[in-house]
Amino acid sequence: MQFTLEVEREDDGRWLAVVTQPHGALAYGTSANGAMAKAEALAVRALAEQLEHGEAAPAKISTSVRRSGARLYG
């Protein structure tokens, strides 16, 4: 399984990270890395719940990041 994240800076300065695949977990952070870490943690928790309830099969997990227009670091 691969998580795909999109990250962008909001007008108010916060960073928003969204796990677009396999589902729509999203999180805000004060940095791009912080927002991505929170969103990825939420996605992993959701996957763990699905595994515990037999709604998903175990799979290899990897992550890719796509940046939306704004500078990722800085």
**pLDDT digits 0-9 by tens, 15-31:** 999 998 777 789 999 99
pTM reported for the whole predicted model? 0.69
Domains of the chain: 2-67 (3.30.160)
Tell me the three-class secondary structure of the chain, residue by residue. Answer: CEEEEEEEECCCCCEEEEEEECCCCEEEECCHHHHHHHHHHHHHHHHHHHHHCCCCCCCCCEEEEEECCCCCCC
Q: Residue 56 — pLDDT band, cuts 50, 70, 90?
A: confident
> What is the total residue count of the chain?
74
More confident residue, 21 or 39: 39
Which pLDDT score, from 0 to 100, does residue 4 have? 84
**Residue 27, CB-side half-sphere exposure with 13 Å CA sphere:** 18
Farthest CA pair distance, the chain: 41
| Lookup result for tokens 């998903």 | 56
